[in-house]
Structures are given as structure tokens and as C-alpha cells.
Chains A and B, each alone.
Chain A
Amino acid sequence: MQQLDLDRQSLREVNATLQAQSDHTNQPMWEIVNPKGAHAIACGLDADLDVTIRGSAGYYCGGMNKRATIRVEGSAGPGLCENMMSGVTVVDGDASQYAGATGRGGLLVIKGNAASRCGISMKGIDIVVHGNIGHMSAFMAQAGTLVVCGDAGEALGDSIYEAQLFVRGSVASLGADCIEKEMRAEHLERLAALLEAAGSTTDPASFRRYGSARTLYNFDIDNAGAY
């Protein structure tokens, strides 16, 4: 395993080294030591790498990741894996607000809790949170799947488009145009696959599904109270 040390190397050096790796590298395994909450660690990667961050990361860890597997042995600050395209990120601890924001693909696993606005404007990413999520999560979520093994805060899925939400625990409240939906076999199958990929043994049958009522897709003055 190759080591990068943020005590001895600049953020630019660390990211440039990882960004320079191609799929043909014989050094796919990397660790970053002494992250100490630094921002923008391991962002913009675009290769089949396996990067472990030995500690907690600051803002935008793994931003816009493509294909790499990123492991955070700690917690992550705001904007974790924002606009992630593909690959996998696993955070052992908690994630701050906006985790997985606008993500377009890949799998984000948060083994602790996620703060507010988890999955905001998500566009295809799959997010599995082993714990709870904060308020306004999945706001304007367009596509992808958000799985919450714990509880969800207020206004879940406000103004949601076509993303799918699965919550095992309580939902403090649903946002505008977000409703509970029937859990069919294909949803259980999808949920089971995501839970397995995220290392969760939670029973898929114990979840409830939420999504868009699609009543706000085209403006109607009689819906003005919902805006």
C-alpha cells in the first residue's frame, strides 16, 4: 500500500498523485495519513483505486469521484462525495450536512449518522445511512436511492422528483409532494441489494418507501399553498 502523509505533503501533492493514477497502475492501494479534517481530500479521482483515509476528513471529501473506492476511518465534513459519479465511498463515522449532494452515481455508505440535507438534489447516486439523517434530506432529489436504517428528520423528500427513499425508523415529517408509497417486490429486491452492498444486515421488509406524488411537476395555482 502506498502512503501519502498530509503532515508532510500538501493537499495539492496528495490529490495530484492520486489523480495521476491510471487504471493500469500497479499501485491501486493507497492510504492517506494525518488527514486532520483537511478539506477536498481525494476529490476528482478517476481510476480504479482503493484509498483509505486514516482519520476524519473535512469538506468535500471524495468530491466528484469516478470509480475509486474511498474509505474514511473517521467522520466526514460537509459535502461528502458531492456530485459523485461512480465508485464507492464508505465512512465509518458520521457525515455532516449535504452528504452525497447532487451525486449522479456510485454508492455512498455512512455507517454513522448523516446531518441535514443528506442526498440534496441527488441525481442517481445510491446512499445508505446506517444511522439517522437530518432535516430536509433528499430535497429536490431527482434520481437514485436513499436508504436510512434509522430515523429521518423533518421535511424528508421536499419537492422530490423521481428518487426513491427507504426509511426503517420514524420520519419526523414529509416535505411537499413527498408521500409514502407501496413497497412492491422489485423495491424489496433493490433495497436488499443495497443493504448487502452497504454491509447492513437489516431486514428489507422492515422499511417503508417514499417518493414523489408528482402533483407539483407542472405549476397549478391551486397548489400554491404547497410552494
Chain B
Amino acid sequence: MERTPRTHPVKSWTFDDYTSSYIRRAAATGIYDIRGGGSKRRLPHFDDLLFLGASMSRYPLEGYRETCGTAVTLGTRHAKHPIELDIPITIAGMSFGALSGPAKEALGRGASAAGTSTTTGDGGMTAEERAHSTKLVYQYLPSRYGMNPDDLRKADAIEIVVGQGAKPGGGGMLLGQKISDRVAEMRTLPKGIDQRSACRHPDWTGPDDLEIKILELREITSWRVPIFVKVGGARPFFDTTLAVKAGADVVVLDGMQGGTAATQDVFIEHVGLPTLACIRPAVQALQDLDVHREVQLVVSGGVRTGADVAKALALGADAVSIGSAALIALGDNDPALEEEYRKLGTTAGAYDDWHEGNDPAGITTQDPVLAARLDPIQAGRRLTNYLKVMTLEAQTIARANGKSHVLNLEPEDLCALTVEAAAMAGVPLAGTSWIPGTTHGDDI
């Protein structure tokens, strides 16, 4: 008997395999999914921008002969001692607790050798990271874990964390598996409990209070070091405006691709703005206040390559900050560990259960056996190499656009490959003079 032809089985676009697995996991556990890292969804990003390069209208610099500067100074507005960096790439705040001791040491070693800064995280400053970081930014977080005036005075800058890109409006999270004896002592918490730190600072509310808080921190540190204010990508124009009004020397702006040690997946993927959408509004705010370059802008969230660095700077940032990329340089999600990742039910490149503390690379763990796998000297060297490669790449692009310093890159050097990226970055769609959202493309 002849079989009736049937259409090919079709899975729902709405209820795809991942979504169905999400529903089954939620139904089985009753707990929302918690993970580390930043947004994994496809977002408009630096990849959607291109540099135009030089031709008749722009004069390029010789690639290996003419100097292209990379040094940046952060905190020139009020601090007696601004931070002088050799490269415009810094290491973002990541806590001891979220990361192992060797990982923090490696970050300090790698950043220092490349002439840049690293940053503490929720949980305070460890003696090891201070010792291995020539320039260390001390984060001042809502939890105030480990906060004390002695460490505050040892810092080269203070970063008041209002929010972060992975979870603007959310507080820190470190689950019991990673609350070891030392982490518990630093945070004044019982060992083994889930630590959910506050999302708001305990002793100030709003920018008017923040202005006074900044005054207090400056008084305690004798106006010596710069005060950074870090915000997650939410309302970058207004947040930047208010941070400047409150007295920030530096605004750190973190888009939703920026990573976190642990939070709810629904938070990471559904709250906040892509990094690309954050930069121009923040720069506009600085320009409106006539403090662009006087108050420096550090952008983070998904910065991976020298091209990303150059694009962020061209859009008006003074420096970038990397976190997830730095961890990959140390050895996170290395395919060489694929067998162990599979035992954890994942695969290299997708491992994000950082909160469970089972990282086979020894980075996002407090297990002493796993942590001992990471050689901080070798890992630090890898980070230095990576930072140098990114810097060389950014210089290559800057020279190709006729710039003798990477900070001379400008939006006019860029075009966008998509309408969305053109609108977000405020640069013309490639081959046109059209910037979506502007009324007169002819003005370009």
C-alpha cells in the first residue's frame, strides 16, 4: 500500500530544544538557573562595526616605524595621583572567592607585566593580589565584605560599584560551595552558607548621597587616589550624568555581555543593554557636561580583541576593561580539559557553572586541589601575551586610520554593517551617510 506523503517533523521555534530543557529543569528542581558569565545571546556588538582605514582623505602611519601611543591616565579630575597605564586595557573586578587565589595572583602578575591595573571584587583585598598588582583598584561594593580603611589606603584607585552589566540592579551571589574558611572569614559569614549580597549600598541612596559618600572616601584617603563609579548598562546617559555630578573621576560602564561570578540566567539574558548601545549615550553625557576626557570612561562587557578595543576607543571611551576574556587567557574553558568538562555535563566553551566551584581549570573554584592546577606564573604570562596582542592590534588599526595615539580614534573612522549597530553606535551604515535616529544624514 502506498504511504501517504507527510511533511517533515518540525520543532517549534518558540519551544525549541533549549527552551524545553529549561522548562524540564525548572519543573524538576524548583530553582531558577544560576550561572556565571555574561549574556550568551547574539547581540549587536563591535563585530558589527568596521574601520574605514586611510586612503586619499586620510593619511596612514607606517605600521612598524611611526609611533602610536597607547598610554592612558585615569582619574585626572580630582585625585592627587591619577593612575598611569601603559595600555588602555584594564582587568575588571573579580573577587577572591569567585576566583581562586592562584587565579587572582595570575591576574595581578599578567596585568602588571603589561603595565595595567587589576581590580579586587566582592570580598575585599587579599595580600597576595596587592603584592602581585602594581596598580590595584579596590572595589567599594554594597556588601562591604572585608572593607577596611587600611586596604582602602593601599589601593591605587577606589571603584564604587553601583551595578554591573550582567545584572544591573542585582547584588552579588556566592553559593555555599565556595564559602571556604578563608572566604567566610574575609566576609564575616558562616562557612558554607549561600551569600547573597545586597543590591544597594547600605548607607547612601541616590546621587546626592553618593556625592557625600565620595567626599568621605576622599577624606579618608586624603584625596590621593581617583574615585571610579561603576554602573551597569541600564540608562547610560543619565547614569553617566549623575556619576559625574556626584564627583566621579572615572565612569566605568559595563554592558550586558560583561560577566558575573554567579547570578540568575534570567537576569543575565533579560536585563540591561548591550555594550555597543551604552557607549555613545555615555559619551554624549560627558560631552554635554564638557568633561569628555576630563572624566575618563572605561567600557567593559564583551571586549575580546584589539579591534574591540579600538572600536570602543573610537566611540569615545578612554579605556576598556576585560574579565571573561582574561579568564580565557588564564585557561578557562580550555578544550584540553574537554573530558573533565563532559563529566560535569557540559563542554569546553560552554562551562558556566562557576558558582559550583568545580572548575577543572582551577580558576573559578575554592577547592585547593583544583586551584593548585593553575600555575599563576604561567597563567600570568599568558594574560600578558594576550594584553600585548590586543594592544598591538589596536595600534595597527589606529595607524591604518592615521592616528598617532589610540585615543585619537574617532567615530568618523567607523561605519556599521547593520542598521541596528549604526543606530546604537551612532555611526553611518556602511556605504551610506545614514545614521538611524538622526534626521539629516547629509550632516555626516
Q: B203: which of A15, A39, A82, A143 is its contact (CB, 8 Å)?
A: A82
A79 within 8 A of B: yes
Shortest A36–chain B CB gap in Å is 15
Q: A12: which of B144, B175, B213, B219 is its contact (CB, 8 Å)?
A: B219
B219→A143 contact, CB < 8 A: no
Q: A43: which of B176, B189, B192, B216 is its contact (CB, 8 Å)?
A: B216
CA distance A139 to B198 in the complex (A): 10
**Chain A residues positioned under 8 Å from B203 (CB to CB):** 60, 78-79, 82, 98, 101-102, 120
CA distance A40 to B212 in the complex (A): 8
Contacts A12-B223, A121-B202: A218 and B216 contacting too (C-beta < 8 A)?
no
**Chain B residues positioned under 8 Å from A101 (CB to CB):** 202-203
CA distance A162 to B193 in the complex (A): 12
Shortest A104–chain B CB gap in Å is 7
Q: A44: which of B30, B31, B147, B149 is its contact (CB, 8 Å)?
A: B149
**Chain A residues positioned under 8 Å from B189 (CB to CB):** 142, 161
Which of chain A's residues has its CB closest to B149's CB?
A64
Main secondary structure of the interface of B (DSSP, over half): loop
A11 within 8 A of B: yes
B190→A64 contact, CB < 8 A: no
Q: A98: which of B175, B192, B202, B216 is its contact (CB, 8 Å)?
A: B202
Residues 412-435 (chain B) with a chain A CB within 8 angstroms: none
Interface size on A, residues (CB 8 A): 41
Residues 56-88 (chain A) with a chain B CB within 8 angstroms: 58-60, 63-64, 66, 78-79, 82-83, 85
Q: A66: which of B31, B147, B149, B187 is its contact (CB, 8 Å)?
A: B149
B144→A83 contact, CB < 8 A: yes
CA distance A100 to B31 in the complex (A): 35
**Chain B residues positioned under 8 Å from A16 (CB to CB):** 222
**Chain A residues positioned under 8 Å from B147 (CB to CB):** 83, 102, 104
B193→A121 contact, CB < 8 A: no
Contacts A102-B203, A121-B144, A143-B188: A40 and B222 contacting too (C-beta < 8 A)?
no
B66 within 8 A of A: no
B148→A218 contact, CB < 8 A: no
CA distance A218 to B189 in the complex (A): 13
A residues with CB within 8 A of B: 11-12, 15-16, 19, 39-40, 43-44, 46, 58-60, 63-64, 66, 78-79, 82-83, 85, 98, 101-102, 104, 117, 120-121, 123-124, 139-140, 142-143, 161-162, 217-219, 221-222
